[in-house]
Amino acid sequence: MAFTYFFRDMQTLEMIRDHVVPALRTRRYIHVWDAGCAMGPEPYSIAIIFRENMGGMIFRNVRIHATDIDESNLFGKIIEEGMYPREQVERIPKDIFARYFAPAEKPDHFRIAEEIRRCVSFQRHNLLTLDPVRNGFGLIVCKNVLLHFKEEERIDVIRMFHDTLAEGGFFVTEQTQKMPAELESIFEPVVSNVQLFRKVE
């Protein structure tokens, strides 16, 4: 089972809060692609960050398209249920946890608020097909996935992300991943030393 938990990468969530949400908030619809989302803590954490930083009405226009190759064919059901064991939710800041989680019927499990669950949908998808799941994304998050690909595959996947981003859309990957030199001219770094980029052409 893929390793992941809620609020795994606070630095990325803070960058989304500080740079991405303010830039996208005025758009009519905000589409986010979480590519390689595992069983849901990452897309749900992103959904919570959006909700924390915008009013409920605007948040209704946010759609998080969570995809994964999901070789075990389990993630769709887990994400739809939105119920997670204590060890996957215990790093969430206490105030946020109190606002969005309630004890579930299963002992030591917690369920995410309906408002957040509604915002996230899951689809099985293999990034190496290079088929975008839709166009016009404001943000694409692909973390701890590209490292498993060969260099040429990484370039093709990131180029596909670029094509499917809306004008001025953002792409974020993990700290240890570098933008391939071939693609440096089509993305600009938003923050130095952090892997958050904005589409420039």
Residues that bind ligand SAM (CB under 6 A): 2-4, 8, 36-38, 42, 68-70, 126-128, 143-145, 148
Q: Compare residues 54 and 195 and give the one whose CB is closer to ligand SAM.
A: 195
The distance of closest approach from Cβ of residue 73 to ligand SAM in the complex, given in angstroms and rounded to an integer, is 11
Q: Compare residues 25 and 156 and give the one whose CB is closer to ligand SAM.
A: 156
The distance of closest approach from Cβ of residue 150 to ligand SAM in the complex, given in angstroms and rounded to an integer, is 11
Residue type, 165: L
Contact 74, 39 (CB under 8 A): yes
H-only helix segments in the chain: 10-15, 21-24, 41-52, 56-59, 75-81, 86-89, 94-100, 114-117, 151-164
The distance of closest approach from Cβ of residue 1 to ligand SAM in the complex, given in angstroms and rounded to an integer, is 9
The distance of closest approach from Cβ of residue 64 to ligand SAM in the complex, given in angstroms and rounded to an integer, is 13
Q: Compare residues 54 and 165 and give the one whose CB is closer to ligand SAM.
A: 165
CA distances from 96 to 16, 48, 61, 169 (A): 16, 8, 21, 27
